[in-house]
Amino acid sequence: MPEIVGLDRLLPALAGRACVAWRGDTAVSGDDFLVRVGAWHALLDLPAGALLALAHADAVEFAAALYAAWLRELVVLVPGDTLAGTLATLADAAAFAGECGPATTHPAPVGGASAIAGPLPHGLDGTLVLQTSGSTGAPLRVAKTLRQLDAEVRTLEAAFGARLGPARIAATVSHQHIYGLLFRVLWPLAAGRAFEAHAHAYLESVAPLLTRDRLALVASPAHLKRIPAGIDWHPGGARLSALFSSGGPLAFDAAQAAQAATGECPIEVWGSTETGGIAWRQQSGADAPFAALPGVELECDDAGTLRLRSPHLENAGWIELADRGERAVGGGVHLRGRNDRIVKIEEKRVSLSAIERAARAVGLLDEARALVLAGERTQVALVGVPGEPGREMLRTQGRRALAAALRAGMATQVERVALPRRFRFVGALPQNAQGKTTEAMLAALFDWTESRPLLPFFDWRTRDAQRASAELWIGPDLYHFQGHFPSRPILPGVAQIDWAIALARLVFPLPPRLSRMETLKFQAMIEPGARLLLDLEWKPERGQLEFRAHSKAGAHASARLVFAER
């Protein structure tokens, strides 16, 4: 293995290197790479200091363009994706290179050019800007000097280089983010390891590479949580040199399953765009702590506040992290969540605030609150208060239509993995006695399942200690219309009773058991599209709840329901 070289002196070191990267079965030599640097350099004839937005799915082309831009003394801006909403935030870029959709001004050069193999003109002073989401949800640009990136590469080599040896680097992650940029492009280039030009969309295509080379896999928690069965991870007795994961902590069961399948316990690397790499762990036991990377200092106080001092930062001082922690016995820290509204979904940093803004911008909601629902698969959920257009869509087309319209409208602003998968529409956000809407109150709205049919969208008209009135929008896609009846959907009477009890429990302290029903009447059918008024009166001294359902068409149902403690 050649000694790791500085990123500023990388190009001269690549001259004559037999293999820098692989495109499928075709090797890209160091000289081939330097020719591509020359081609991009000829194309990017822009003034020094200009801001260049760069995106390219091919990691070889991306790296060649990056070095060509640094040779031109350009500031390179790397967006996390090329969605229309993301590109719209890059209006200050002087040019768009590579594959930036319709905004592209400098597509990849087709012809060859003279190779460029000189060092960067100003050493480690080059600048790279990564665009990600900040804690406020607004697009956040994080500038990285070449000196910082060089320090990251040296740290990774010190921590993991010995176990990799001359391994070929395969990846399932994008190099448009700091993790992929370092692990599958800059670190391999500096350490003399060949990397794959294209990321693998599926793990099935990774394992066969083990028959050709010693292999290290740079993966994501999303891939490692769902390793397909039937993959031979040991063809001819081969095995991975290392398995990396970053973007969010793996559950212990997922880490163990990944080790059982591949033979390698994942090396989980904790860090962020802002901080760079911080710490790492391998889960030999449940809730294994993270140990600081070489040269990184990490402190955790009794309140769970984490502080960091690192060569990967622009200055040498201590900074406070958004992550919370707990000191581990024997050293290291356990992560215990975050202080801000940035969450991790499928290894992506997702701003709940940005999701809420995107939902309101569609024009169908007056208010929106996003939250994360834990379970077998972590997913984003949205509680929305529809405005008049949204309410009309609910009444005429139903919940699914409104949810679909919101997802479609948000798709240009929010990455697919962060689009809400579950929705609840309410007349007003729930509030506690202090007038606050808590996360627990929002999560409770999603406790309703198929076994406990969903309430329709409703809006309270009046509420006090003994009386309440709610307006219900009876959408056409309500669960209750399924099979009742196919030729003419009619709301079952039992659903009306269920709704009366469910709504009453939201405002009155009803005893737990329904003892009996008295004076039950169903006077007129309720069909899709109706707007129903449900009047409730609670008589605690008798344990009686009286309800009356009516609309402009007249009375629909009424009853007296008697409750008992046991």
The reply to whether omega before 508 is within 30° of 0 (cis) is no
Whole-number Å distance between alpha carbons of 305 and 280? 18
Q: What are the pLDDT digits (tens) for 509-563?
A: 899 899 999 999 999 999 998 989 999 999 999 999 999 999 999 999 999 999 9
pLDDT of residue 448: 59
Q: What is the DSSP string of 77-119?
A: EEES---HHHHHTTTT-SEEEES-GGG-SBPPP-S------PP
Residue 106: pLDDT band (50, 70, 90) is: very high
Q: DSSP readout, 114-159? A: ----PPPTTGGG-EEEEEEE-TTSSEEEEEEEHHHHHHHHHHHHHH
Domain boundaries 344-444, corresponding CATH code: 3.30.300.30
Encoded tokens for 491? 């709301």
Tokens representing residue 253 in the block = 């069961």
pLDDT at residue 135, rounded to an integer: 34
pLDDT in tens, 465-487: 899 999 998 888 887 888 888 88
Residue 434 has pLDDT above 60, yes or no: no
Q: Tens digits of per-residue pLDDT, 31-81? A: 999 999 999 999 999 999 999 999 999 999 999 999 999 999 999 999 988
- Ordered by start, the domain boundaries in the chain are 1-145, 200-340, 344-444, 448-566
The pLDDT assigned to 70 comes to: 96
Residues 6+ apart with CB under 8 A from 108: 40, 56, 58, 61, 65, 98, 99
Phi/psi at 429 (5° precision): -65, 140
Under CATH, which architecture does the 200-340 domain have?
Answer: 3-Layer(aba) Sandwich (3.40)
- Per-residue pLDDT at 313: 95
HEC profile for 316-361?
CCCEEEEEEEEECCCCCEEEEEECCCEEEECCEEEEHHHHHHHHHH
Bridge partners (DSSP) listed for residue 563: 514
What are the DSSP calls for 228-251, one per residue? PTT--SSGGG---SEEEEESSPPP
Give 305-314 pLDDT, tens digit per residue.
999 999 999 9
Q: Position 473: which residue type?
A: W
Q: Per-residue pLDDT for 129 more than 50?
A: yes
The partner residues of 281 in beta bridges, in order of sequence, read 268
- Rounded CA gap, 160 and 242, in Å? 9
Residue listed under structure tokens 């208060």: 385
Fold agreement (1-145, 448-566): no
What one-letter code names the amino acid at 53?
A: A
- Does the structural domain 448-566 have CATH classification 3.30.470.20? no
CA distance linking residue 181 with residue 273, whole number of Å: 11
Three-class SS state of 254: helix
Q: Over the stretch 236-267, which tens digit does the pLDDT of each residue have?
A: 889 999 999 998 888 899 999 999 999 999 99
Q: Which tokens belong to 528?
A: 């899709």
The pLDDT value given to residue 18: 96
Q: What is the pLDDT of residue 81?
A: 85
Residue of 483, 485, 474, 492 lying closest to 528 (CA atoms): 474
Decide if 134 contacts 142 (C-beta within 8 A). Answer: no
Report the pLDDT averaged over residues 268-291. 94
Is pLDDT above 70 for 88? yes
Exposure class string for 2-30: b at 16+ Cβ within 10 A, else e: eebbbbbebbebbeebebbbbeeeeebbb
The owner of tokens 């579950």 is 422
**pLDDT at residue 230, as a whole number:** 87
User: How sure is the predictor about 368, in pLDDT bands with cuts at 50, 70 and 90?
Assistant: very high
Mean pLDDT along residues 76-88: 88
> How far apart, in whole angstroms, are the C-alpha atoms of residue 253 and residue 257?
6
Q: For residues 196 and 216, is the Cβ–Cβ distance under 8 A?
A: no
**Tokens 């009846």 correspond to what residue?**
485
Instruction: Give the residue ranges of DSSP H helices in 305-351.
Output: none
Q: Which two tokens stand for residue 127?
A: 């600048």
Give CA separation, 156 vs 160, 164, 167, 218, 278, in Å.
6, 11, 14, 13, 11
Averaged pLDDT score across all residues of the chain: 90
Could you tell me if 190 and 216 are in contact, meaning their C-beta atoms sit under 8 angstroms apart? no
Q: Does 19 have pLDDT greater than 60?
A: yes
pLDDT at 111 over 90: no
Rounded mean pLDDT, 450-473: 79
Indicate if the pLDDT at residue 139 is higher than 80: no
Write phi, then psi, for 519 (nearest 5 degrees). 50, 40
| pLDDT value of residue 134 | 40
From 121, 117, 128, 100, select the one nearest 32 (Cα to Cα): 117
In this prediction, residue 369 carries a pLDDT of 94
| Res 390 pLDDT > 60 | yes
CATH node for 1-145: 3.40.50.980
pLDDT at position 171 is 96
Read off the DSSP letter of residue 368: E
CA distances (Å), origin 199, targets 180, 202, 203, 365, 418 = 10, 9, 10, 38, 21
Residue with tokens 């391998």: 282
- Is the model's pLDDT at 346 over the cut of 90? no
Residue-wise pLDDT for 395-412, tens only, equals: 889 889 999 999 999 998
380: which strand partners?
372
